[in-house]
Amino acid sequence: MTRAGLQALLSHWWRHPGQLVMLLAGLMLATALWSGVQAINAEARAAYAQAAGRVDAGARARIVPRAGERLDEAQYVALRRAGWPVSPVVEAHLTAGGATVRLIGIDPITTPSDLIPRAFSGTDSAETLRRFLLPPHLVFAAPDVAAALAEATGAEVRAADDLAPGTAVADVGFVQRLGGAEGLLDRLIVTDAPRALAPPPLETIAPGLVLQPAAPRADLARLTASFHLNLSAFGLLAFAVGLFIAHGAVGLAFEARRGMFRTLRALGLPLWHLMLLIALELALMALVAGAAGMVAGLLIAGALLPDVAASLKGLYGAEVPGTLTLRAQTWVAGMAAALAGAGLAGAGALWQLARLPVLAPAMPRAWARASAHRRALEATGGLALLVAAAALARFGSGLMAGFALMAALLLGAALILPPLLDLCLRLAGRAARGPLSQWFWADARQGLPGLSLAMMALLLALAANIGVGTMVESFRRAFTGWLDQRLAAELYVRARDDAEAERLRAFLAGRSEAVLPLWRVEATVAGVPSFVYGVEDHPTYRENWPLLDALPGVWDRLAAGEAALINEQLARRAGLSPGDTIEILPGWRLEVAGIYSDYGNPTGQVMVALAPFLAHFPDAPRLSHAVRVAPEDAPALARALIEEFGLPAENVVDQAALKRWSLSIFERTFAITAALNVLTLGVAGVAIVTSLAALSGQRLVQLAPVWAVGVERRRLARLELLRALALAALTAALALPLGLALAWVLLAIVNVEAFGWRLPMQLFPLDWLRLVALALLAAALAALWPALRLARMAPARLVQVFAAAR
């Protein structure tokens, strides 16, 4: 009985491959995007767990000379002999092809593996090692300087894209020779290798050296939580869109097989058995589609991971490999998602089947009418969700509330889309005059249930595109404008100790327009961990500083020591506004005279005048300086500083490089967003194609009578195309306000909660126009094939509709 029943059930798919494709495609896409995002998240989390203890040099303890000079190689040898797990580092700065290259010399045997370029551990590592150590030496360089470096040094240079721009890694001895520093080292890194039992203290072996403890490490998993939450939200959205498609396909298949169910039950198949068979059928499809979706998801993840890795590194200093590892849990989660999706998609239909009398009418329209009640329920639910979203926007707080608001907004809008479209079509039908146009609108209205899921998918995809696009573009404008203001100085120089700082200031005094101190101390202000900066009164600030809000005469009051400026993060977290008072030290209270934007900074900031700053914090390190100089002189001055003082290149940063670096991080951060956007739109396009394909069989019953009474096929085909366009256009029109609402939520709630800053929302109508055009194009392309088929359909096939045994 099972076999025969299953055969009968499955025979339907043979005769309606369009529906089968639609169901499988829906489940597959849902699984693909969801598991792709999950794979990326899993990869990142695994990397954080691994990296607990590694990451960049600042995160490790290091040994450096007490007095700003270089240390002697002999000291290194002595330390190692005594059992200290240290590895040598020397740096040289070369000019190659007009750019300064920071060449880092390491010892590949003792250096922790994560400081070695990935390219090193290639296929033949023994051979690579040999070439690295022996002349003419193999050098790994960031792609931007690889060619120039090869020319300048004559070494064999290999590009390694995990190196920061402008840097290269080579053997320590080779770098010593190139830098004219034979026998000298810049620092020693304390590695993770087990130490000898109780090595003698540093002072006894190398008295001139000091141990700098590792900088307190930020908790990467916590820092990056909002980033991954963002990704997950996108994955969930894609999953929902895929589910819409699968749900639509299951509904169609149930509708079309109603007669078969009736016959099977009349022939004596018990209801529970029938339901079991259908569940089995769904599970079968979920497994097939799930497996295909997993493969597609891993491909997507593999393609996106390098960008994600780059932005995680840029934003949080988190090292995530650019390649994917296959994890069992990813597979299990993906298949579970596919099965759950199929279950969700089929649950409603199964429920309806369970309550259906044996001899329910097999007429599709009767079913559609019966589900009108359900549609009314959905619309009510949609409205309720929108009300909930409004309430969340008004009263909610916290990141989760922000995401809940987004979910309620999107789902609510999707649910009320069909009734809204229905209303629009009814109004259009009323306004129409000719018989054909009246039929056109009535027909579009009647066909709406079959297409509404595809339209929901389109709505969500368009809204997500408009919303996220507006957010990213607003952010880009704000960020670039802000970078221009904040990075007003041409060079940023950091001395290694106070004595060197003194000499630096003297050196720079004659060679620059101004040397502005960037001196700071840590303090807790209004309960928020912050940095307090002492700043000089200078036009650089007065003309450029990105103030969001300020009292009149803000700079004069700051200079007079009467007031302070705070950054937006501090203002939001502590609820401060201009005119409020903050206490920086017990008894030292200042009025807040202004608030400035400070993107990308996780902590609070306070700016006070230099004199009171020094009076209250006499021990503040005075190392960092912003240097104003004619832009064309900046590179030469930077070189001079490096050569004159032997400063490491990271201590002399020029504005242009900093801007380029920041912007490139920004672009890569949102590259994944853009990719996911395109994918969601693609899913919506597939939804339209599959819906139209699944419906095309039923369309003939609607079209043949119109054709028979005198409307030629070509005209009908044009109207079919127009119908898809009209629905897409209406949906796009509704997607616009939804997308803007989404952008507002992202900018005004999610970003504020996740990062502590609020961005001004800007509107980009040209982007909308492009998107709407894209949506129309997608709809037209999706409708083109069925329309062409109709235009060329053999009349014999059309008249079959009227034949007795259809």
Ligand X SMILES: Nc1ncnc2c1ncn2[C@@H]1O[C@H](COP(=O)(O)OP(=O)(O)OP(=O)(O)O)[C@@H](O)[C@H]1O
Rule CB under 8 A: say whether 446 interacts with another protein. yes
- When the beta carbons of 273 and 713 are compared against ligand X, the nearer one is 713
CB of 371 to another protein, least distance (A): 14
CB of 775 to another protein, least distance (A): 25
What tokens were used for 413?
């809008």
The radius of gyration computed from the CA coordinates of the chain, to the nearest angstrom, equals 33
Torsion of CA 46, 62, 77, 109, to 10 degrees: 20
One-letter identity of residue 288: V
| Three-class HEC string of 559-603 | HCCCEEEEEHHHHHHHCCCCCCEEEEECCEEEEEEEEECCCCCCC
- When the beta carbons of 326 and 796 are compared against ligand X, the nearer one is 796
- When the beta carbons of 68 and 429 are compared against another protein, the nearer one is 429
**Using CA atoms, how far apart are residues 675 and 36, in angstroms rounded to an integer?**
12
Q: Is the peptide bond before 199 cis (omega within 30 degrees of 0)?
A: no
Element (H or E) spanning 188, and its range? strand 187-190
Alpha carbon distances (Å) from 590 to 154, 525, 534, 557: 59, 11, 13, 10
- When the beta carbons of 222 and 715 are compared against another protein, the nearer one is 715
Which does residue 802 touch among another protein, ligand X, none (CB within 5 to 8 A, set by kind)? another protein
- When the beta carbons of 574 and 793 are compared against ligand X, the nearer one is 793
CB of 698 to ligand X, least distance (A): 19
Options 5-13, 16-24, 537-545, 796-804: segment touching ligand X (CB under 6 A): 796-804
Burial 734-750 (b: 16+ CB within 10 A, else e): bbbebbbbbbbbbbbbb
- Number of Cβ within a 10 Å radius of residue 153: 21
- Residue window 179-198: x/- pattern of binding to ligand X, with contact defined by CB under 6 A: --------------------
Please name every residue paired with 754 in a beta bridge, in sequence order, or none if there are none.
Answer: none
One-letter identity of residue 596: Y
Which does residue 588 touch among another protein, ligand X, none (CB within 5 to 8 A, set by kind)? none
- Residue window 306-345: x/- pattern of binding to another protein, with contact defined by CB under 8 A: ----------------------------------------
Which does residue 711 touch among ligand X, another protein, none (CB within 5 to 8 A, set by kind)? another protein
Interface with another protein (CB under 8 A), residue from 351, 588, 785, 802: 802
Q: How is residue 747 annotated by DSSP?
A: I
Rule CB under 8 A: say whether 803 interacts with another protein. yes
- When the beta carbons of 707 and 768 are compared against ligand X, the nearer one is 707
Interface with ligand X (CB under 6 A), residue from 601, 796, 798, 806: 796
Q: How are strands ordered across the β-sheet holding 99-106?
A: 156-159, 138-141, 167-171, 99-106, 86-96, 187-190, 62-65, 209-212
CB of 804 to ligand X, least distance (A): 5
Interface with another protein (CB under 8 A), residue from 706, 748, 776, 784: 706
Which does residue 714 touch among another protein, ligand X, none (CB within 5 to 8 A, set by kind)? another protein
- When the beta carbons of 328 and 803 are compared against ligand X, the nearer one is 803
CB of 790 to ligand X, least distance (A): 17
CB of 18 to ligand X, least distance (A): 21
Which does residue 492 touch among ligand X, another protein, none (CB within 5 to 8 A, set by kind)? none
CB of 428 to another protein, least distance (A): 14
CB of 806 to ligand X, least distance (A): 12
CB of 458 to another protein, least distance (A): 22
Element (H or E) spanning 75, and its range? helix 73-81
Q: Which phi and psi (to 5°) does residue 625 adopt?
A: -145, 145
Rule CB under 8 A: say whether 430 interacts with another protein. no
Options 141-149, 169-177, 585-593, 709-717: segment touching another protein (CB under 8 A): 709-717
CB of 730 to another protein, least distance (A): 17
Interface with another protein (CB under 8 A), residue from 708, 733, 763, 788: 708
Options 145-153, 707-715, 744-752, 762-770: segment touching another protein (CB under 8 A): 707-715
Please give the residues from 358 up to 387 whose contact with another protein meets the rule CB under 8 A: 363, 365-366
Task: Give 169: exposed, middle or buried? Use CB within 10 Å, 0-12, 13-18, 19+.
Answer: buried
**Using CA atoms, how far apart are residues 51 and 54, in angstroms rounded to an integer?**
5
- Number of Cβ within a 10 Å radius of residue 514: 16
Q: Which residue is nearest to ligand X (CB)?
A: 796
**Using CA atoms, how far apart are residues 431 and 787, in angstroms rounded to an integer?**
26
Which does residue 705 touch among ligand X, another protein, none (CB within 5 to 8 A, set by kind)? another protein
Q: How is residue 516 annotated by DSSP?
A: E
CB of 260 to ligand X, least distance (A): 24
Rule CB under 6 A: say whether 804 interacts with ligand X. yes
- Residue window 673-702: x/- pattern of binding to another protein, with contact defined by CB under 8 A: ----------------------------xx
- Number of Cβ within a 10 Å radius of residue 142: 21
Rule CB under 6 A: say whether 806 interacts with ligand X. no
CB of 31 to ligand X, least distance (A): 41
**Using CA atoms, how far apart are residues 526 and 250, in angstroms rounded to an integer?**
57
User: Tokens 């590179």 sit at which residue?
Assistant: 635
Please give the residues from 322 up to 381 whose contact with ligand X meets the rule CB under 6 A: none
List all residues 6 or more positions away from 412 whose beta carbon is below 8 Å from its beta carbon: 381, 382, 383, 384, 385, 386, 388, 389
CB of 801 to another protein, least distance (A): 5
On whether the CB atoms of residues 614 and 622 are closer than 8 A, the answer is no
**Using CA atoms, how far apart are residues 648 and 91, in angstroms rounded to an integer?**
7
CB of 702 to ligand X, least distance (A): 20
- When the beta carbons of 288 and 432 are compared against another protein, the nearer one is 432
CB of 795 to ligand X, least distance (A): 9
Options 303-311, 348-356, 617-625, 713-721: segment touching another protein (CB under 8 A): 713-721
On whether the CB atoms of residues 134 and 127 are closer than 8 A, the answer is no
On whether the CB atoms of residues 144 and 166 are closer than 8 A, the answer is yes
Q: How are strands ordered across the β-sheet holding 652-654?
A: 514-517, 624-628, 491-494, 652-654
Interface with another protein (CB under 8 A), residue from 445, 639, 718, 758: 445
Nearest residue to 300 via CA among 272, 328, 330? 330
- Number of Cβ within a 10 Å radius of residue 7: 9
Nearest residue to 160 via CA among 180, 176, 139, 174? 139
- When the beta carbons of 92 and 727 are compared against another protein, the nearer one is 727
Please name every residue paired with 188 in a beta bridge, in sequence order, or none if there are none.
Answer: 63, 88
Site size for ligand X, by CB under 6 A?
A: 3
Which does residue 122 touch among another protein, ligand X, none (CB within 5 to 8 A, set by kind)? none
Alpha carbon distances (Å) from 594 to 112, 274, 566, 577: 46, 71, 7, 8
Using CB under 8 A as the criterion, which residues of the chain lie in contact with another protein when the complex forms? Answer: 363, 365-366, 434-436, 438-439, 442-443, 445-447, 701-702, 704-715, 795-796, 798-799, 801-804, 806
Using CB under 6 A as the criterion, which residues of the chain lie in contact with ligand X when the complex forms? Answer: 796, 803-804
